[in-house]
Structure 1
Amino acid sequence: MLFSQRVAVALLVTGLPFSAFSQDMPWETGSTDDAAEPAATEPVTEGAAPAEEAEDATGETDQGSEVEIAPGVSATAVVPTEEETEDEGDSRLVSAMLNLEGSVGLQNLSSAWGGAPHTYRIALMSQFYTGSNTIRFNDTNDFFAGNLLIEASPFKYFSANLRLRFQSNVNSFGRPEAMLSQGDAALGLKGYFDVAPGFYLGLDSTFFVPTGFGSTGVDFSGFGIRPRLLVSMKGSELSDDQMHLNAHLNIGYRMDGSENLVPDGLTPTRVERFAYQLSAYDAVEIGTGIEYEFPYVSPFLAWSMAIPVSGADGVCDQPNLPCVSDLGFPAFPNVLSVGVKSEPIENLGLHAGVDIGLTSEDAAGLPVTLPWELVVGVQWTIDPTPKIEYVERESKTPEAAPVAWVAGSLRDQESGEPISGAIVRYPLGGETAQATGADGKFRSYEFMPGSRVTFAIEHPDYEPIEVERTLPGEPGEHPLAVQMKALPKAGTVRGDVRDEAGNPIAGASVRFTGSEEKQIPVGAAGDYAQELKPGKYSVGVTAPGFLSRGRDIEVVGDKTLELMFVLSPAPKEDLVELRDDKIEIRQTIYFDNGEATIQQRSFPLLQQVTSLLVENPQIKKVQIEGHTDDVGPDDFNLDLSKRRAQAVRQHLIDQGISSERLTAEGYGENRPILPNTSNRNRSINRRVEFRLQQ
């Protein structure tokens, strides 16, 4: 199979696991170093027997007293007991540290977990070797490599890492003796999850882009890729006695294109093959290792091996070295790694280790495995998560007075799921606010038995609630179950804006007025979409060169409303003008004789009235007034004027103007403009007017 075909297959295989991780995965805040999540607890109701003390995510009882929370910060924390606080300084374990490729793990292995969510790491790791008889008999060889490593864990179950490598090899048989490789890059993506308490499964893919043969620029012809299965065990989650022994297993297949860096017609020397890490084989990579987590330090022991497969054509034709297929296991590159990771200061990690080469035979097409290699590094972890300050209160009296407290439990009113991250305030007493844990629980401050306590509870996704509770007369813990009503979810309004010929109007804009105010541009295809809070809205659509249109709508949460608008071209002559207290029209609105039916020739005029109202949402109320001449009975004329005003109102509503903005009234022949002494004067008195009221 050609290398490009092998890469295509690997990319397909690599994509499947990460698509799987995105399906129904519980993306939640929290460290992968945490123990298994606590089991769900039954809701507690007022008046029930005292419940056991709430357990935190590690299974330890929460007996703390007070948490200081910065204004505007929502935090979830378990307050330690005094003994736990004293021991904390002696029990801090080493946090996640990077391997030589920038992934969390051991020196040459990756773990099936990453760092805590929303944390980032940057590290510098160096590799050293000096010796003789390394690549050729009687040679001297000095090797150095520097690795800049960057890793990001933006959320739980996923991480990404980048390595930039700069290395130098000086060999007495080299031509030239010093060979540099500057800028080798490796990009890794890792997905993982906990399949059972203490057991983790992951998949990662690393993409290798080396520099060119004898040059410093990146050469994509040497591109390589390695998908890999990761399995890890965390001993502290398997044993009650907190045995901090971790174990890891890696199995992968590396498609190596580095041989493509060699120019046609040139056979690399053994020194060149090592200096530029040129391999004529793909490899099945296997690695396993263990580490034990002590306070501040974590020693490790690991072994890794690459089994060469799918060699390049003619790789075994070299006369000086035997073929790897003839030598077998003694020629397989494999190393034993021994070292220690430490974190003397929080977020500052140190690494020291040695790779001991176990390969006893050199084979054609493979770089030499060094007999030993020293690896040292330093790492800094960036954790933007706000810290919680613990406040201790020293008891002044040897015998405390009887106290009572509330064990609160917050749950969703509909689903019954616990509500984490809710802020619990004490508006009457002024105590420091508290935050509910992942299980939706909180423990109140201590009060005298029989006290009346008020809880003001807030959460950005729920309606705020205030709960009053009179504590029973007996001391101790008293349960309180609270249900919160979720805020309505947003709905979506989308559609198209087109002209009368069906062509999209790209320069249009859509304005929403109601529960919230929004104005958005229309896309090049005439389409638009906007999420809105549930409620009633007036929608107005405007575009240069077109009459505006509007419509009243009601947005329902989690629903999509389709709205299509067709705009008419603006007329050459403006027949409508906004004055201080009225909308002035320069034409008469015509009706059938003695009827309230609007004649079609007046529709363009009313379209302009509609457009003016859409473009001026500040006009809150317009009264449509109907007037007649003095021909006919007074009561008939009064009724006709009212019906005509109502017909105009209904026409504007049908064009999208909110009914709440329009009223209609008729005055018959009682308010003439001119005396009804001629036909001309009577035609002027027969009219419809628009008066601004708000």
Structure 2
Amino acid sequence: MSESFGTSLDIAGSFTYANFANPAAAPVEGILGAWTRPGAGDLVVRGGVGTALTGGIGAPTARVLFALGYEPTVKKAPAEPVILDSDNDGLLDNVDACPDKPEDMDSYKDDDGCPEATVVTFRFVDQDGQPATGLGFTVAEMQGASSMELPAGDHPMTITGDGFAPTAGVAKVVEGPPIEIVQTVPYLTGTIIVEAVDAKGKRIPDASWLLNDKAKGKMPEGKVETLVRVGQVKVGAEAEGYLRGSKTVELKSGDTVTVVLDLKPTKTKVQAANIDLGGSVFFETNKDIIKPESFKLLDEVASIMKEHPELKLVRIEGHTDSRGDDAFNMDLSQRRTEAVRTYLISKGVEANRLEAKGYGETKPLVTGNNEAAWAKNRRVDFFIVERTDMAVDGQPKPVEGAPKPQ
């Protein structure tokens, strides 16, 4: 049997129950037939021969059959191929680039069907836990990028960089999702010895010292020795009744550098919200010309501003006594504060850290029409408007207690 040829054998007969035992009443015939579809076309040729199998009435001695037919061929749709998932990774073989290797599903190129090496991200910190930058490193003979693919196992790595000790480590990689490896790379150090001395060269007890403008603590004997990261190092010291002093030195690995800071005595103090002059700024009468006797005091203010970079903005306020015309006094106080600002700028203070505001006779400290009251009310004040050591979210915070300009 095929789609273009076939044979058949048919047996047909009839009988009644009442005449079941009578052979003459039960004719039976056998027919052998065949068919073909010439050329597998739509024409069908059928034929057959038959003969009686019993002597029943109606069964022919012989029968010949022949027929021609037209039967259009019905074309069957091709069977859908069965697509397998040979590696059981959830991706069928027709879209799986690696049908014999299961995908590792590590959140990295999981749709290609191929297992990838583990994605490793490297992060380097110094011994203080701070980011170590400017490094070169090699892992498994690959020049270091911040992220790379590595097979599972232990991979040696070397790290070098200016100012850091050459470091060797091992990247331990396990198969699976991306991982981060944190490696400590110690920075190189040298020794700094800081001494705070007075004009006679004697150490100042309980002086405080600073490193790169950051307070580091007290020096009970006026001296401290400590390990410091190599490079450009700014060392400072300050004490009650003295101006802050500082020096910048170059420190190399293994070196010992002694920094002696000669602190100058002063009555000027940096408070939370103002700079207390401990004295007065004098001007020529009814003029904005600063008297030479005030230069030393203003030089100390300039030194404070340069040694205290945390003082981001300082307002110079000028006041007069109550004598004279109100408008003249207002203008005079403004010109005098501008003169002080100009003087400080000439001494190296950045202009954007200073603002000037004259108030005339509108803000007296005391009342009275006498020399003592007038002298007290004639003054120049320095108020700290912003300072970075009181920062919030990286933005300088206005100092509480500082008067607001009117």
Using structure 2 for the length normalisation, give the TM-score: 0.40
Greater relative contact order (CA < 8 Å, ≥ 6 in sequence): 1
User: Quick check: which has more Rg, 1 or 2?
Assistant: 2
Using structure 1 for the length normalisation, give the TM-score: 0.26
